[in-house]
A and B are shown apart, each in its own frame.
Chain A
Amino acid sequence: MRFPYGPAPLVILILAIVTGIGLAVWVPLSRPPGYKAPDLVLATFVSEQAEVYRAAIARFDEENHCTVQVELVDQKALQSRLQSALQVGADVPDMVELMYGTIGVFTKGPLEDVGFIDLTKRIKETGLSDQLVANRLSKWSSRGHVFALPHDVHPVMLVYRRDLAEQLGIDVNKLTTWDEFSRVGREVVKKSLRPDGIPGHYMIDLPTDGNDALILLLLQHGVTLFDANGHVAFDNEATLDVVCWYVQQVEGPGRISFPCGEGQNFDKAMIDGLCLFYFCPDWRSNQIQQEVPSLAGKLALMPLPAWEPGGIPTSTWGGCGLAFTKQCRNFDLAWKLAMYLYYDPAQLGPRFADTHILPPLKAAWGRPEFDQPSPFYSNISLGKAYSALAPLVPKEHDTAYNTLANAKLSEAFSYTSIYYKQHGNSGLREYARSELKRCADRVRLAMSRNVFLNSDSEQLPEASSK
């Protein structure tokens, strides 16, 4: 019998049938014998955390007679897929680790529309709010409601080339304010000028476009992009202080910084001693230790210089939090798992030794691992150093407009920087003030368009339910 449409369509048809059957058979066969759908699925974007959780979960499964699956998904993919899935009501994991600065996108509308379970009551009932670093909950909250549990604190210190600082006669104990730091920095840069006019050493690693460094300095000075009510809050005198100071460190005759970037360039700059000081949240201390082992014993840590004598000597940079989706199949079990993975002191000690990430659970800081001196960092006890700063870590507030606010702050900073290059200090503060106001107003305008945020949209006549 001949196929009426010729051999090519026949081959295509056969291929389609074979691959279709193959797929239908392969999926069930690819599962191990005795496969049972997991009771809980936890998605994370941090590979190190996924490894730690997978190792710890076997005991949890055994004790609770359940199966927990940990999925590792790229951060951007996780966020966009989660957003899309929540948007269309598709399947989502029971628990999701979110990156800092992203929760605002999910809490954009009325509270009852947020795709995550409101944890406020549970946190109060269990007394967790008293056991954790209080300021870390604000990062995962919206309008006073907590939607995720903080995984970390991420206090920021300065890591510095102790050997070079000693050679150059820098007394780090005297670097208590940023103004003093800047003054010493100018001397260092001047002294190290090479014949081609390029400094051999810069005082500190600062990106020229502000970015995370500017944000953490603003936080240290008490400035948040948004206040606790979600209103734009970065066009004020404190922001001006920081922006004007920062501009003078990255541009012009008093420049003391170099943008070392990330990855290999950052490592090379450290090894070469191109910059002497670098911002160092707890997570970065481990990264540096892994990536530049040749600097063992040559580095040390110190608190941030303050904005005024006796001011706050730290800030915060980064973080992730654990949210429970409203589709979570067993919230009590998921909560138990969260307590086990996030706030079990017995696990947090060894985990700190591995990752250097300080947990927000204050009780854990008494574990012996937190007292261990680190030979890599000139025998400083990282646990003691970071935990001493943890209670001082400033509050942060996230909204859906974080990215826009960051971009606008960066824009105001860039224009101020250009102005400083052209005009110097003359009129700098006034110019920066007007730029900050313009950029903050732009964020306000975008926020004012949010019909869901600006009123109880369920009462809006024009808001129709799909």
Chain B
Amino acid sequence: MSAGPLATASPKGFNTADLRGAGWRWRSRGAPYLFILPYLVLNLVFFLYPLIYATVLAFYQTNGPARRAFVGWGNFSYVVKDPDFHKALWNTTIFAVFSIGLQLPLSLGLAMLLNAKNDRLKSIFRLAIFAPNLVGQVFVGIIFSVLFAPHYGLLNRGLHELIGWGLEQQWLGDPKLVMPAIIIAAMWMYVGFNMIYFLAALQNVDQSLIEAARIDGAGPASIFWNVTVPAIAPVATFVVVTSTIGSYQLFELPYNLLQNNGGGYGPSNSGLTVVGYLYQNAFANGDLGTGAAVGWLLTFIILIISVIQIRIVGSVGSES
């Protein structure tokens, strides 16, 4: 067997290996680096440098280009003790739990429905369910702020017509209803997105295994738990982890939903998220150091949760 295409003789009998000089070696070895150079440069300038700078910034208070003061762990200790940060973390965690607890089963259910039969309307439904994701959080925030409006909002009007209740319900003005409103809006937006992943995974489940299970007398529930779930476990892990990360990065949706309802993050900060808290400190209050500290704390929180999730979901998958 030949060593590779370069070592083979040309049709005219000329051995291309003869061309291997210093120039060719440089070109063959240097070329990959040359091709990834633009990416590396961009990565260094727009990712690595800001990352290092943010780390430094987290230990400073800054004021304009000319002044900064070292505060040690002061920014971190302030954030960790701040009740607003606790509130933001609690709100974000509630959102993440409900996102995963409600959105993902719904996404999987829809994916299974669409995967069940070769329905002609399948592609239309798939597009319709996925479409909300195309418009972006800002648009969804604005749309839902109108839908949730008391007295004139579509939701309240509908509820009033159907059950005679809810005309004046203030979804975005009542601290107890702000988070459910955000979860509803997010669900509308992301269920279709996650459904696409599950649908792709379901379409790749080995049909022969399902057939074999059926022949062995397994019912639909047994097939689902013992064949389908293990088969889609890697995708499920990916969806759970990315949904959790996305949930902890939540900002635009509550920001637009609540800012368009008069500003702030809802009554009693009921819609304040960790990234909202970061934005508030860094840009509204002009304290970039505290903002950077919040950013790092958020990174560690996401990292820890993701590692735990990967371990749990991974072990469930391997046991199955």
Interfacial residues, chain A to chain B (CB-CB below 8 A): 4-5, 9, 80, 83, 86-89, 105-106, 108-110, 113, 115, 196, 198, 207-209, 211-212, 258-259, 261-262, 264-265, 268-269, 274, 400-401, 403-404, 406-407, 410-411, 414-415, 417-418, 442, 446, 449-452, 457-458, 460, 462-466
Given contacts A87-B65, A406-B263, 5 further A-B contacts (CB under 8 A): A83-B283, A410-B267, A414-B268, A415-B268, A463-B68
Chain A residue with Cβ nearest B258: A209
Known: A4-B27, A269-B152. A403 touches B64 (CB 8 A): no
Known: A209-B262, A407-B265. A87 touches B68 (CB 8 A): no
Contacts of A265 in B (CB 8 A): 146, 149, 151-153
Measured CB to CB, the closest approach of chain A to B271, in angstroms, equals 11
Do B31 and A5 have beta carbons less than 8 Å apart?
Answer: yes
11 contacts between A and B (CB under 8 A): A86-B65, A87-B288, A108-B286, A113-B63, A113-B64, A208-B173, A261-B149, A261-B261, A450-B61, A463-B68, A464-B70
B residues 29-46 near A (Cβ < 8 Å) are 31, 35
Interface string of B244-288 (1 = CB under 8 A from A): 000000000000000011111111110000000000100111101
Do A80 and B149 have beta carbons less than 8 Å apart?
Answer: no
Of A4, A258, A417, the residue contacting B168 (CB under 8 A) is A258
Measured CB to CB, the closest approach of chain A to B91, in angstroms, equals 14
Determine whether B135 belongs to the interface, using a CB cutoff of 8 Å to chain A: no
Contacts of A211 in B (CB 8 A): 262-264
Of B63, B262, B283, the residue contacting A261 (CB under 8 A) is B262
Interfacial residues, chain B to chain A (CB-CB below 8 A): 27, 31, 35, 61-71, 74, 78, 83-84, 146, 149-153, 164, 167-168, 170, 173-175, 260-269, 280, 283-286, 288
Do B285 and A400 have beta carbons less than 8 Å apart?
Answer: yes
Q: How far is the CA of A115 from the CA of B164 in the complex (A)?
A: 57
Of A258, A262, A414, the residue contacting B151 (CB under 8 A) is A258
Do A466 and B262 have beta carbons less than 8 Å apart?
Answer: no
Of B146, B151, B263, B285, the residue contacting A274 (CB under 8 A) is B151
Contacts of A262 in B (CB 8 A): 260, 262
Contacts of A407 in B (CB 8 A): 264-265, 269, 280
Do B285 and A449 have beta carbons less than 8 Å apart?
Answer: no
Do B267 and A109 have beta carbons less than 8 Å apart?
Answer: no
Q: How far is the CA of A105 from the CA of B283 in the complex (A)?
A: 9
Measured CB to CB, the closest approach of chain B to A192, in angstroms, equals 14
Of B65, B84, B268, the residue contacting A89 (CB under 8 A) is B65
Do B61 and A449 have beta carbons less than 8 Å apart?
Answer: yes
Do A464 and B68 have beta carbons less than 8 Å apart?
Answer: yes
Of A274, A417, A451, the residue contacting B61 (CB under 8 A) is A451
Do B152 and A268 have beta carbons less than 8 Å apart?
Answer: yes
Known: A207-B262, A404-B280, A415-B268. A105 touches B61 (CB 8 A): no
Chain A residue with Cβ nearest B64: A113
Measured CB to CB, the closest approach of chain B to A142, in angstroms, equals 13
Measured CB to CB, the closest approach of chain B to A107, in angstroms, equals 10
Do A113 and B67 have beta carbons less than 8 Å apart?
Answer: yes
Do A198 and B152 have beta carbons less than 8 Å apart?
Answer: no
Chain A residue with Cβ nearest B87: A411
Do B27 and A418 have beta carbons less than 8 Å apart?
Answer: no
Do B64 and A465 have beta carbons less than 8 Å apart?
Answer: no
Q: How far is the CA of A442 from the CA of B280 in the complex (A)?
A: 15
Of B27, B69, B173, the residue contacting A209 (CB under 8 A) is B173
Contacts of B151 in A (CB 8 A): 258, 265, 269, 274
Known: A113-B66, A446-B285, A465-B66. A208 touches B267 (CB 8 A): yes
